[in-house]
Amino acid sequence: MWNRELETISRKDLEALQTKKLKTAMEAAAKTTYYSGVFRENGIDPAKITTLDHLKDLPFATKNDLRLSYPDGMVAVPRSEIVRMHASSGTTGKSTVIFYTMNDINAWADLLARSMVATGTTRDDVFQNMMGYGLFTGGLGLHYGAERLGCMVIPSASGNSIRQIQLMQDFGTTVIHITPSYALHLVEEIRNRGIDPRGLKVKKAYLGAEPYSEATRDKIQDQWDMEAYNSYGLSELNGPGVAFDCAHRCGMHLWEDCYYMEVINPETGERLPEGEEGELVLTHLNREAMPMLRYRTRDLTRVIPEPCKCGRTHRRIERIKGRTDDMFIIGGVNVFPSQIETVLMDVPEVGNNYQIVLEREGGLDRIHIKVELRSEMFQGDLRDLDRLKKRIVEQLRSLIVVTARIELLEPGSLPPSTGKAVRVVDNRKI
Ligand code: ADP
Ligand code: ZN
């Protein structure tokens, strides 16, 4: 372990530590324009929030609050203390901006070194970081963590598949950091060049930045012949390193000495009992530059209350099902893209990319799913494709009441993704 004492701390001591840190977090928050306004408007005395339970009295912070307080309404330190800024990807609108002091950067790198060690990575590994560098937190976040751990880091960033392959071959990359959609695309590029991906030295991948299903993880592990670890984080709470799979890969440990978590009913905002699925709400317990209290992540998950076999006491969260705003309603039924992905990726003939297009024809919702198949599928009988189409429609039926129109495509037909994939195109004019 990277920090055995902290990672195996007893639940009681962990709670005491969180409570102690909460005090500092409240003091920092009171220095910001945003939180001082929130405290004033709600008649809250921050000095009176002394237990984790008191946090319930604070209103949630949302992405919109960050947007409104742009650029520096949430900053708690003088500009001279800030050493870096990042921004979110802007998947759901205008990007939000995050600031860090040197202590913040160090604490973040430490969490990532801890996460990487939890997966069994050591200083002997060669780590190729295929996430976007720059304002996006995915690149530099793991970069600093891997350096802290002592890996050799190849900062290859995302895209440019030919160069990625060359680097993996020439420098014997053992660990990669990549989005699941790019992992599926890159493995095809590798095979298209006549290289057997299973012959590369890559033994591990950290997959994150976008929702994906367990079936997709299996597919990636199988095609690359490696182990895939789920990595979760969001810019508003530093970036990656909020929660990470350990070697057992059975849910991600959320690093509770730095983040206090709540799971709420996204409609009512009420706290849910442990183990129920809802929206994750996070409080950063030790950020200097930009305190963050009760941030609504919009990500849906549940806490796995049972202790993990690895001995770490920090609770695990389940794979993120999607964002509350990813959900679409088709024919009156709520559907998450990840549910469709689970069905598709369980069909052995299905290849590595798909897209969901929503349309409205004559007042009715239609769903059109474009699916790439494995290349072998186009060498056989056309009637096989027809049968396959029917099978996919049938398997989707339990999920979506309207009949899906399925279009089967050859590999490489859909726009490839090198970063966060766009899975749903909604053409309905509502
Ligand atoms: P944006 O919110 O604009 O996409 P970020 O780059 O901060 O900006 O992305 C963070 C979001 O990415 C998370 O809130 C979550 O929705 C998604 N995400 C990150 N890691 C994972 C993961 N392992 N599984 C599912 N979703 C993830
Ligand atoms: Zn574990």
Return all residues near 331 (Cβ < 8 A) that are at least 6 apart. Answer: 364, 365, 400, 401, 402
Domain termination residue (choose one: 324, 359, 386): 324
Q: Both 68 and 141 in a single domain?
A: yes
Question: Would you call the peptide bond into 71 cis, given omega within 30 degrees of 0 as the criterion?
Answer: yes
Identity of residue 428: R
State which of 142, 320, 321, 341 you would mutate to test the pocket of ligand 1, scoring each by most atoms of that ligand within 8 A of its C-beta. Answer: 320
- List the structure tokens of 230: 């789920």
Contact (CB, 8 A) for 401 and 366: no
Domain containing 149: what range? 1-324
Classify residue 363 by burial, with Cβ atoms within 10 Å: 0-12, 13-18, 19+.
exposed
The verdict on the CB of residue 338 being under 6 Å from ligand 1 is: no
**In this structure, are residues 194 and 216 in contact, taking their beta carbons and an 8 Å threshold?**
no
* CB of 138 closer than 8 Å to CB of 131: yes
Q: Is 209 in the pocket of ligand 1 (CB under 6 A)?
A: yes
Residue 337 and residue 283 share a domain: no
Mutate to test the pocket of ligand 1, among 63, 91, 177, 220 (most ligand atoms within 8 A of CB): 91
Ligand nearest to the CA of 230: 1
Cα dihedral 322, 324, 327, 333 sign: positive
Domain boundary among 290, 324, 358: 324
Q: Residue 143 corresponds to which amino acid? A: H
Residue 336, token pair as written in the block: 């998450």
Name residues with Cβ closer than 5 Å to ligand 2, which is an ion.
246, 308, 310, 312
Which numbered atom of ligand 1 lies nearest the CA of 230? 23
Determine the atom of ligand 1 nearest the C-alpha atom of 92.
Answer: 3
Per-residue pLDDT, 362: 84
Strand boundaries in 235-311, DSSP class E: 239-245, 252-254, 259-264, 278-284, 295-301, 303-304
CA of 111 to the centre of ligand 2 (A): 15
How much is the pLDDT for 382?
Answer: 84
Counting ligands in written order, which one lies closest to the CA of residue 336?
1
Which single residue is written with the structure tokens 């609770």? 315
Beta bridge partners of 424: 356
What is the torsional sign of CA 284, 287, 289, 291?
A: positive
Residues 291 and 394 in one domain: no
The residue whose C-alpha atom lies closest to atom 13 belonging to ligand 1 is 234
Atom of ligand 1 nearest to the CA of 299: 16
Give me Rg for the CA atoms of the chain: 22
Do 105 and 178 lie in one domain? The reply is yes
Cβ–Cβ contacts within 10 Å for residue 381, how many? Answer: 8
Nearest ligand, measured from the Cα of 217: 1
Same domain, 394 and 256: no
Residues 241 and 105 in one domain: yes
> From the CA of 255, which ligand is nearest?
2
d(C-alpha 412, C-alpha 79), whole Å = 47
Provide block-wise average pLDDT over 10 residues at a time, the chain (430 residues).
98 98 97 97 96 95 93 96 94 89 98 98 98 96 98 97 98 98 97 96 97 96 98 97 98 98 97 97 98 98 98 98 91 89 95 95 90 90 91 90 91 93 86
| 241 alpha carbon, closest ligand | 1
* One domain for residues 48 and 195: yes
Asked if residue 370 and residue 256 are part of one domain, the reply reads: no
- 119 and 7 both lie in a single domain: yes
CB-CB contact of 317 with 18 (8 Å)? no
Q: What is the distance in A from the centroid of ligand 2 to the CA of 8?
A: 10
Q: Residues 187, 77: one domain?
A: yes
- With beta carbons less than 8 A apart as the criterion, state whether 246 and 269 touch: no
Task: Give the residue ranges of DSSP H helices in 76-136.
Answer: 102-118
CB-ligand 1 contact for 255 (6 Å cutoff): no
pLDDT recorded at residue 430: 57
- Residue 296 burial (10 A CB sphere; 0-12, 13-18, 19+): buried
Cα angle: 86, vertex 92, 96; to 5 degrees: 25
245 Cα: distance to centroid of ligand 2 (angstroms): 7
Q: Which atom of ligand 1 is nearest to the CA of 420?
A: 4
Minimum-distance ligand 1 atom for the alpha carbon of 93: 3
Ligand 1 lined by 295 (C-beta under 6 Å) = no
Same domain, 303 and 342: no
Count of structural domains, the chain: 2
CATH code of the domain containing 362: 3.30.300.30
d(CA 195, CA 200): 9
Q: Which CATH number belongs to the domain containing residue 100 in this structure? A: 3.40.50.12780
Helices (H), 8-54: 11-30, 33-41
